[in-house]
Amino acid sequence: MFSVPQLTRLAYALRDQRVLTIYIDGSASDPALQRTWRVQIDHALKDLREWLADSPHDEREEFDVCVDALEAELAEFDGGVGAPGAVSFVSRRHTPETHTLPVPTPTIAVWSTGPCLSPYMRALKQTRSVIVAISDARKTRLFRYRLGTLEHLDDVRSNGNVASMSHMGSAPRLGFHGGTRGRTGRDAAQRTLLNGRDRMIGIAAQRIAELADGDGWIVLGGIHRVASRIAERLALAMPGRVAVLDSLDIHATEAAISEAAGGAASALRDASDGRRLTEICEASGANLLGVVGFEETRQALDQRCIRDLLVTHSFIEGHAAEAERVIRDALAQDAVVEEVVRDVAVRLDEIGGIAAGLRFRPSLVDVPVLA
C-alpha cells in the first residue's frame, strides 16, 4: 500500500495522463460472493466503453490498451483478493500500480485524466503506525502495529538482576555480629531494582518517542504505575497521541495486542479529528486559519494555502467530481487529508462535509449577489 508521499508522487506523475482506476471490495466472507467483484468490474468497463463511443479514436484505443493491461494485473486476484480491498492504476505511459488495501472500498472503475484518489483516503488512515509498549518493573516490550500486522521490535530491560549480597539480609555466619549498622541486603536490592526500573522507564520513553516520530500513535499497557510514568514523559512532546490501557496486561497474546492497538488507534484518531474540527470551526468563525464548506475550501485550495483537509464519506459519495478535485489539489499542496468517520463525520456533515485548516488566510473572492 502507498504512503501519503508515494500516493502524492503517483498523482503528480499521472496528472496529465488518461488513467483507468479500479477499486475492488474484497471483504465478502462467503466464498460464493468473493468473485462478484469480477462481474461488477466487467459491467463497469462495458459502461465506460459505451460512454466513450463518441470520443476520439485515439482515446478509445488508449482505453482498450489500458483494459488489456488491467486484465494482466487482475490475474493475481484469480484466487481471491485476500484483503478487504484492492486498487489498480493503469495508464498507457506508466507502469501499472496494483496492490491490496486494508479497508473495503466500493467496486468501481473510473476513466479520467489523472488517477481517482478519493476512495483511497480511508485506507491512508491505516498507514499510521501504532507503537505498543507493555511494561512491568523489569522490562518493556516494544511492538509496532501497522496495516494489520504486529511486529515485535525489541525489549528495554531494567538491568535489575542483583547479585546476592555478601551477608546482609541472610542468615548470619559464625562470628558475625547481628547488630552491625547499615542497610540490609534486602533494602539495597530493593533500591537497585527501583533505580533499574526508573532507568528503564526513561530509556523506554525515549525509544518509544523515536519509534513514533512523525505521526505514530502510542499505546501503553502492563503494570499501570509503570505505564503511567512512561505516559507522563511522552505527554508533553506528543499530546493526544498516547493511550494507557489497563486491559492490556503483561501476559497479553499477540492477537490481544493487535486488537488493542487497532481499537486504541481508532479512538485516538477520532479524538484528534474531533479536536481539529473544533479548532477549524472556531478559526473559521473568527476569520482566522480555518474554512468550512465547499466554496470557501475551494477558494483556499486555489490560493494554495491549505494545511489540512477534513472530508466525510458522504461528501465524497455525493460530490464525486468536487471531492476528487479538492483531494488531488490538497495532496499537491502537501496538505494532510483525513476522511473522518463516526461522530466526527456526523458533525462535519452538518456544516457541509468538508473543512480545512490554513497556512495563511486567503483573499476570498466575494460572490456577487443578484438583485
- 141: cell is 516490550
Q: Say if CB 212 and CB 206 are below 8 A apart.
A: no
Work out the angle between the directed axes of helices 224-235 and 185-211 (0-180°, nearest 10). 50
Burial 117-144 (b: 16+ CB within 10 A, else e): bbbbbbbbbbbbbbbbbbbbbbbbbbbb
Of 298, 269, 267, 288, nearest in space to 359 by CA = 288
First to last CA, the chain: 52
Give the CATH H-level superfamily of domain 4-116: eRF1 domain 1 (3.30.960.10)
pLDDT of residue 197: 85
Handedness of CA 158, 161, 166, 169 (dihedral sign): positive
Maximum separation of any 2 CA atoms in the chain, in Å? 110
Of 67, 72, 25, nearest in space to 47 by CA = 67
pLDDT of residue 161: 38
Q: Say if CB 102 and CB 26 are below 8 A apart.
A: no
pLDDT of residue 189: 64
Run of H or E residues at 2: none
pLDDT of residue 185: 64
Contacts of 356 (CB under 8 A, 6+ apart): 280, 290, 291, 292, 297, 300, 301, 306, 307, 308, 309, 310, 330, 335
pLDDT of residue 159: 75
The domain spans of the chain are 4-116, 128-169+185-270, 287-358
pLDDT of residue 29: 78
Q: If you write DSSP's letter for every residue of 314-328 in order, what string do you get? A: HHHHHTHHHHHHHHH
Task: Give CATH for domain 287-358.
Answer: 3.30.1330.30
From residue 14, how far is each of 49, 58, 128, 235, 298 by CA, in Å? 21, 18, 25, 41, 22
Burial 285-312 (b: 16+ CB within 10 A, else e): eeeebbbbebebbbbbbebebbbbbbbb
Per-10-residue mean pLDDT of the chain, 371 residues long, equals 92 95 90 82 97 96 97 89 94 95 94 96 90 95 94 86 42 50 63 80 95 92 96 93 96 96 95 97 95 95 96 95 94 94 97 96 59 45
**The domains spanning 4-116 and 287-358 adopt the same CATH topology:** no
d(CA 228, CA 195): 17
Task: Give CATH for domain 128-169+185-270.
Answer: 3.30.420.60
Partners of 140 in the β-ladder: 135, 156
d(CA 32, CA 56): 40
